[in-house]
Amino acid sequence: MSTSEDPLPESMAANLHGAATEGAELVGTSVDAEPAVIVEAINSFLAKPKKAGWFAKVDNWDDRALPIGSLWGHAIARKFGWQWASLTQHDHDDFKAIAIVNDDRSLAVFPFHYCFGCLENHVPPTVLLAYNMLDAAKIPQQPPGGYMNLMDGVHHIIPPA
């Protein structure tokens, strides 16, 4: 399977900071907080998301995954210099998604889809673990231009309590 990159749609790029600010409010931090603080707040929220009010309905994609994913990408960009990209994975249905990617395009994170998956499936998040592994340079070198989904390879040996 090959992956190609297109410019991020201008409308999406223009809304990322505002969405990240909304995500910061959701997880209880500031968009300008240290990236490690942001990532820890995201991980905690995804592990135990707040319940909606009595009559409120939460859309996990629009109301949570998009703002929290924007905040996560914002933190990774600030800490590691990664950039937002529009990727197409070429297989039988050409899956398109927004990702945050490193300089040589060897790694990618699909923050919106990952957050949505955690929220919908009640999966223990590995956002903080992935961040700590990146920060400690513990991710094995990957081929440039491979766009390996970092989150596919980051798993807890023992799930967090």
- Per-residue pLDDT tens digits for 21-73: 999 999 999 999 999 999 999 999 999 998 876 667 888 999 999 999 999 99
Q: What is the CATH number of the domain that holds 73?
A: 1.20.120
pLDDT of 156 over the 70 cut = no
Structural domain of 8: 2-152
Tokens of 132: 């700590």
Evaluate whether residue 159 is within a structural domain: no
Summarised one tens digit per residue, pLDDT across range 78-133 is: 999 999 999 998 876 778 899 999 999 999 999 999 999 999 999 899 999 999 99
Evaluate whether residue 50 is within a structural domain: yes
Which pLDDT belongs to residue 155?
Answer: 61
Higher pLDDT, 23 or 11: 23
Contact at 8 Å (CB) between 144 and 104? Answer: yes
pLDDT of 157 over the 70 cut = no
Evaluate whether residue 158 is within a structural domain: no
Evaluate whether residue 157 is within a structural domain: no
Higher pLDDT, 161 or 67: 67
- Whole-prediction pTM: 0.91
Q: End-to-end distance of the chain based on CA atoms, in angstroms?
A: 36
CA gap 85, 65 in Å, rounded:
17
Evaluate whether residue 127 is within a structural domain: yes
pLDDT of 153 over the 80 cut = no
Percent of the chain surpassing pLDDT 90: 73
CA gap 107, 17 in Å, rounded:
22
Q: How many separate domains does the chain show?
A: 1
From the number of C-beta atoms within 10 Å of its C-beta (0-12, 13-18, 19+), residue 102 rates as buried
Confidence of residue 160 (pLDDT cuts 50, 70, 90): low
Evaluate whether residue 38 is within a structural domain: yes
DSSP letters, the chain, are -EEEEEPPPHHHHHHHHHHHHHHHHHHTS-TTS-HHHHHHHHHHHHHSPPPP-TT----IIIIIIHHHHHHHHHHHHHHH--EEEEEEEESSS-EEEEEEE-TTSSEEE-HHHHHHHHHHHTPPP-HHHHHHHHHTT-SPP--TT--EEGGGS---SS---
Which pLDDT belongs to residue 161?
Answer: 56
Q: Which residues pair with 90 in a beta bridge?
A: 2
Evaluate whether residue 160 is within a structural domain: no
